[in-house]
Structures are given as structure tokens and as C-alpha cells.
Amino acid sequence: MNKELKHSIDFLNQKVGKNTGFSTPENYFQKVEENLSFINFVNSLPKEKAYITPTNYFESIDNSIFKRLASEKNKDIKIISLKERFFQYIPMAAAASVLLFIGINYLSTQKTTFDDITITDIESWFENGYGETYTEELATAINTSDIEDDLFASISDESLENYLLDSTTPLNDIE
């Protein structure tokens, strides 16, 4: 049975065109060492010590560092503090805000007239305490004859009688 299986696998591989295993080009393993650049790089490195510290280097390094630090301390370094920079920008910000205020208030094309103000706006203005009214001013401004004519002209005698009869007051309840 193994022979039949082997023959069937070989037959299938021939029909499909599939080869088993891996293949390498000729002389591949002989030329690999020549093609590797890493080996060439390693061979080109010097065989002796490349980096040598000078004599007394570690004894004198502290002194040289301190000399450099001392020379850098003596240099004048210009420092711009944030406080100075802040004070430089305050006049510019104030001028910009004034220009913005003028531009918004005086250069706007929309004009407010007395017709645009509603009665509820005026009432809320007085209710919130933004304006004061005096009875003398109201008495001179209001014509009472117009008010009486307007108020009582629309109320009929019959509706007035019905209101008085239907409405109950504490005096009516006592009787």
C-alpha cells in the first residue's frame, strides 16, 4: 500500500508541477563568504586598541570642568523675565480693547429706535430697579380723561352687573 501511495504522490506532483524539497543555485555555499560585507567589515577593523586615554586624564578632568564652569559663570547672560514681557504687552492689549469697543459700539450699522423697544422691556427695566418714577412726573405725563374713556367704553353695564353678582367677597359671605 505504501508503494501505491508513493506512486500516487509522485503522480500528483508531476501533474501539478510541484517539486519536493528545496533547491539552491550552483556554487552557492562557496560564494556566501565572499558576498557577506559584515565579514569584510570585521576584518577591516584594527586589531589593536583604537581608543587610548591620555596619561593623567582622570586626575585632571575635574580641574578642566571646573575651569569651564567658572568661565561660563562670569559671562553676562541676558534674561528676559516674564514680568517685563507681561508689562510690555499690557499697553497693547489695552489699546486693542479700546479699539474693539469703539468699533463695536460706534461703527455698528444697526440703530435702535424707540419703536424697537417693547413695553415688556420697559416694565422689566423699572421692575429691576434701573429707573425711578415719581408720581408727580406720571401725573403730568398721563392724561386721565383719555384713560377713563378707554377703560369704561369697552365695559357694558350688563357685564358689570354680572360680575358684581357672580363674584363673592368676604362681605357677601358674612351676611
Average pLDDT, the chain: 76
Per the CB < 8 A criterion, the answer to whether 125 and 131 are in contact is: yes
| Cα–Cα distance, 50 to 44 (Å, whole number) | 13
User: What is the reported pLDDT for 124?
Assistant: 84
User: What is the reported pLDDT for 98?
Assistant: 94
User: What is the reported pLDDT for 160?
Assistant: 80
| Cα–Cα distance, 66 to 56 (Å, whole number) | 17
- Residues 111-153 pLDDT 10s: 777 777 888 888 888 788 777 777 777 677 676 666 666 666 6
- Residues 68-87 pLDDT 10s: 887 766 677 777 788 888 88
